Amino acid sequence: MKVRVNGSKRFNKQLSLWAYRRIQLYIHYKALIEGVPIVYVNPKNTSKASPMGGKLTFINYRWVRLPNGHIITRDMIASWNLAIRGLKTYIQDVGLRGFVGALKAPDQMQPQEGMRGSPCKFPKYP
């Protein structure tokens, strides 16, 4: 496909991002089925900012030191910052009441429909 377009930079970029978009659509689809709230946030500078405030000290490309002295990877910093941004966006859009309602898990002890007899018992090992 790249050869037919004569190496257009725009097309090459779209083609390389196609797999990421498919994963994003699949996660979106599964989240809708499960009833999980979906929030899109801008990932810009998430691995460069401290999630707790203060300044990050970069040890090398992968590792950073937090203001409290802990050493952690930039991937973890980015995931924390994405979660914080997502929560802020979700609370701003839905409100705190909707956020707390979304966190309520169903009761796991409810009997399942169509279950008859006693539940299967696993053998006890000595």
49 & 68 share domain: yes
44 & 91 share domain: yes
Residue 64 β-bridge partners: 58, 72
Query: Is residue 109 included in any domain, yes or no?
Result: no
Residue, of 59 and 15, whose pLDDT is higher: 59
Q: Whole domain around residue 28: which residue ranges?
A: 1-38
**In this predicted structure, which of 14-18, 25-29, 41-45, 56-60 has the lowest mean pLDDT?**
14-18
Q: pTM of the full predicted structure?
A: 0.61
49 & 65 share domain: yes
30 & 12 share domain: yes
The continuous run of DSSP H or E covering 72 comes out as strand 71-73
34 & 44 share domain: no
For the chain, the straight-line distance linking the first and the last C-alpha, in angstroms and rounded, comes to 62
In whole angstroms, give the CA distance from residue 20 to residue 38.
17
Residue 73 β-bridge partners: 63
> Which residue shows structure tokens 């279950």?
115
The continuous run of DSSP H or E covering 57 comes out as strand 57-58
85 & 51 share domain: yes
Number of domains in the chain: 2
pLDDT tens-place string over residues 43-66: 899 999 999 888 999 999 999 999
Q: 82: how many CB neighbours lie within 10 A of its CB?
A: 17
29 & 66 share domain: no
Of 45, 52, 43, 37, the residue nearest 82 (C-alpha)? 43
Work out the pLDDT band at 36, boundaries 50, 70, 90: confident
